[in-house]
Amino acid sequence: MSSWWSQIGNSLFSLLSPRREACLLCKQVTSLERGELGLCHGCYTRIPWIRKVVCLSCGRGEHCPDCRRKPHTYFVKSRSAVRYDETMKELLARYKYRGDERLKAVFGHMLVHAFQQLRLDRVSASAGQVRECITYVPVSEQRMQERGFNQAEQMARELGRRVNLPVLYLLKRSKHTAKQSFKKRSERIDDLAHVFEFDSTELGRIIGYGEPIIIYIVDDVYTTGSTMNQCAMVLKQEMSIPVEICGLTWAR
Ligand SMILES: [Zn+2]
Ligand SMILES: [Zn+2]
């Protein structure tokens, strides 16, 4: 009986007191504030949110030479939640390479910020009236086996749940490419040609009567934009209905 009372007492206590948990980034056990995404106050305040977009094409928060020399993009615009600084690199590494899957909710939550930026910037009369769906940059079979999950897919699903939009598998990766980060810009672009293919398996979920649709492509990091552009190109070329593509990435 007494242990029953102490259990009740403990759960009441934990309901009433702030959550004490390990911060997802620095692992320090502290009282976590609601709305701070499972991070301690110190780590939360270090998130470099992109609040003011400077490059209207890729959503960068600072001057952007990349978009000026780009000949053509198949996506209308792209927006990102945060600047990819050292703290964010560490956060992503924890999620991607150490399999800390608790972080997927944090990333999904952060991606809502990018989504809101995109919605804010859209001045088209069709916004909110045209059908919309979310898809994601696929990983190769090999990478999927190594890691066990596709972080872009998880982020897309978390986002879809939060903004109430369907998430569809529309792209597959037909060949495995070496890690992008070790390559020069020109090598990356050559490498990406014919990497992505359209997969129509889930198309029935959105195709109605040839009506136009907006597709948001989710990825973790926007570096040169070539991955986003290749994915957008495949969708634009292969889909039989008018599509408008926008990019949504966690970091830029
Ligand atoms: Zn922390
Ligand atoms: Zn740009």
Residue 167 sits in the same domain as residue 99: yes
Number of domains in the chain: 2
Q: What spacing in Å lies between the alpha carbon of 29 and ligand 1's midpoint? A: 8
- The pLDDT, as a whole number, for residue 179 is 56
Residue 15 sits in the same domain as residue 73: no
Residue 58 sits in the same domain as residue 169: yes
The strand pairing partners of 22, in sequence order, are: 29
Is residue 121 predicted with pLDDT exceeding 90?
no
Work out the number of other CB atoms within 10 angstroms of the CB of residue 136.
Answer: 27
Work out the number of other CB atoms within 10 angstroms of the CB of residue 16.
Answer: 7
Residue 133 sits in the same domain as residue 20: no
Residue 58 sits in the same domain as residue 155: yes
Could you say which ligand is closest to the alpha carbon of residue 30? 1
Is residue 12 predicted with pLDDT exceeding 70?
no
Which residues, 6 or more positions from 244, have their beta carbon under 8 angstroms from its beta carbon? 76, 130, 212, 213, 214, 215
Residue 35 sits in the same domain as residue 71: no
pLDDT tens track for 166-222: 999 999 998 766 555 555 666 555 667 789 999 988 888 876 666 788 999 999 999
Residue 218 sits in the same domain as residue 140: yes
Q: What spacing in Å lies between the alpha carbon of 197 and ligand 2's midpoint? A: 25
Could you say which ligand is closest to the alpha carbon of residue 38? 1
Which residues, 6 or more positions from 202, have their beta carbon under 8 angstroms from its beta carbon? 168, 169, 170
- The pLDDT, as a whole number, for residue 115 is 95
- The pLDDT, as a whole number, for residue 198 is 94
Residue 33 sits in the same domain as residue 155: no
Residue 53 sits in the same domain as residue 6: no
Is residue 124 predicted with pLDDT exceeding 60?
no
Residue 139 sits in the same domain as residue 21: no
Could you say which ligand is closest to the alpha carbon of residue 90? 1
pTM of the model as a whole: 0.84
How is residue 14 written in tokens? Answer: 């934990």
State the Cα–Cα distance between residues 194 and 234, nearest whole angstrom: 9
Residue 157 sits in the same domain as residue 224: yes
Name the phi and psi angles at 217, rounded to 5: -95, 120
Residue-range definition of the domain harbouring residue 23: 1-46
pLDDT tens track for 56-99: 899 999 999 888 877 689 999 999 999 999 999 999 998 988 77
State the Cα–Cα distance between residues 15 and 210, nearest whole angstrom: 51
Q: Which residue has the tokens 């992505």?
A: 196
